A = this chain, B = another copy of it.
Amino acid sequence: MEIRGGIDLGGTKIQAVVVDESAGILGDARRPTPKDGGVEGVTQAMSETLAEALQSASLDGTQLAGVGIGSPGTIDAGAGTVANAMNVVPDWKEAYPLGPIVSKLAGVPVSLGNDVQVATAAEFRLGAGEPYRSLLGVFWGTGVGGGLILDGKPWVGRGAGGEIGHMVIRRGGARCTCGRIGCMEAYAGRRAMELHARHLHEDRGRHTDLFKIMHKHDRTQLSSGIWERALREDDELAHHLIDRAVAALGAGIASAVNLLDVEAVVIGGGMGVRLGQPYVDRIVEAMHPHLFVDDRPPDVRLAELGDLGGAIGAALLATPSS
């Protein structure tokens, strides 16, 4: 049996899977992304998470044919390097040979890809995007990432395409965590939403239980689960900020559809997966007033591979050594 590993490197967590020839999941493991130890600490944790996924499948490293990694930042797939992954490690700006180092630790060839692109490719090949030839993947999480499949093939332009989160939906609007003004992510990215919630709560005295729920669950950040709980408890500020995010997603996704007229949109990411179909329906509603051709909107579907999509997509990258 040809076994491949996939590692999805995120700012919050490292997710690893081990899959068989048909990308069926044999084992998986997840760890928080270490906040100390720099990029070396992260690399070590990636290797350990993969080992754990192998263990959960009662396999050892010798049975592994190859590993794929989906990473944020600027990827040079040929050189196996990642640069500008500051949301993983704040000073990870220079190109770091993540591929060769994980390859050495795991003892197998490693292929690298952009995290959002591999997750989009996974949905296209195995998930909600299967019936379509063109689709836009929208990964609503810490930020808002986008991946494109056009005419059955990934489209990344000169390498950096898909930045749907940094489409401008409100000129002169909110400042984004990227430093720019009016990006969709400034309204819909979980990190931006947390900063805004904190500001409204701490500086403006707006009532919210968001941070109380966060502490109760021993979290240091407003995870997707915390947002979901706050919505369930009818926290007014949580509802307000999520409504604002949905409106921003609607405008931004509709803009992308007006430009590309893709067949389908797949909504994934931590927030997308956690909030699920009811919120996909709300995003569809928020898109509608902005769709130029509104009598045949694209299909909008919830990601089917859930939290594991990124790691599965990474495994699809892996070139078996044999």
Q: Does A248 reach chain B (CB closer than 8 Å)?
A: yes
Of B151, B163, B182, B290, the residue contacting A259 (CB under 8 A) is B163
> If the complex has contacts A180-B290, A258-B166, A292-B166, are A248 and B150 also in contact, measured as CB distance less than 8 A?
no
Q: Does A159 reach chain B (CB closer than 8 Å)?
A: yes
Q: Does A164 reach chain B (CB closer than 8 Å)?
A: yes
Of B134, B155, B247, the residue contacting A260 (CB under 8 A) is B155
**Is B160 touching A261 in the complex (CB atoms < 8 A)?**
yes
Q: How far is the CA of A292 from the CA of B261 in the complex (A)?
A: 22
Q: Does A238 reach chain B (CB closer than 8 Å)?
A: no
Within 8 A of B (CB), among A153-207: 155-164, 166-173, 178, 180-183
Q: Chain B contacts of A162 at CB under 8 A?
A: 259, 261
Within 8 A of B (CB), among A247-271: 247-248, 251-252, 254-256, 258-263
Q: Chain B contacts of A248 at CB under 8 A?
A: 171
**Is A155 touching B150 in the complex (CB atoms < 8 A)?**
yes
Closest to A262 in B: B157
**Is A251 touching B289 in the complex (CB atoms < 8 A)?**
no
Q: How far is the CA of A210 from the CA of B110 in the complex (A)?
A: 64
Interface residues on A, range: 35 or more
A178 to chain B, nearest CB (A): 7
Q: How far is the CA of A296 from the CA of B254 in the complex (A)?
A: 27
Q: How far is the CA of A134 from the CA of B158 in the complex (A)?
A: 9
Closest to A257 in B: B157
Q: How far is the CA of A156 from the CA of B168 in the complex (A)?
A: 22
> If the complex has contacts A251-B182, A290-B180, are A261 and B169 also in contact, measured as CB distance less than 8 A?
no
Q: Chain B contacts of A164 at CB under 8 A?
A: 258-259
Closest to A293 in B: B160
Known: A157-B262, A160-B261. 7 other contacts (CB 8 A): A163-B292, A167-B256, A169-B171, A170-B171, A170-B172, A180-B290, A259-B260
A-B contact pairs, 30 of them (CB 8 A): A148-B259, A150-B155, A157-B260, A157-B262, A157-B263, A158-B261, A158-B262, A158-B263, A158-B296, A160-B292, A160-B293, A163-B259, A163-B292, A163-B293, A164-B258, A166-B255, A166-B292, A167-B167, A167-B256, A168-B169, A168-B251, A168-B252, A168-B254, A169-B169, A169-B170, A170-B173, A171-B248, A180-B290, A181-B289, A256-B259
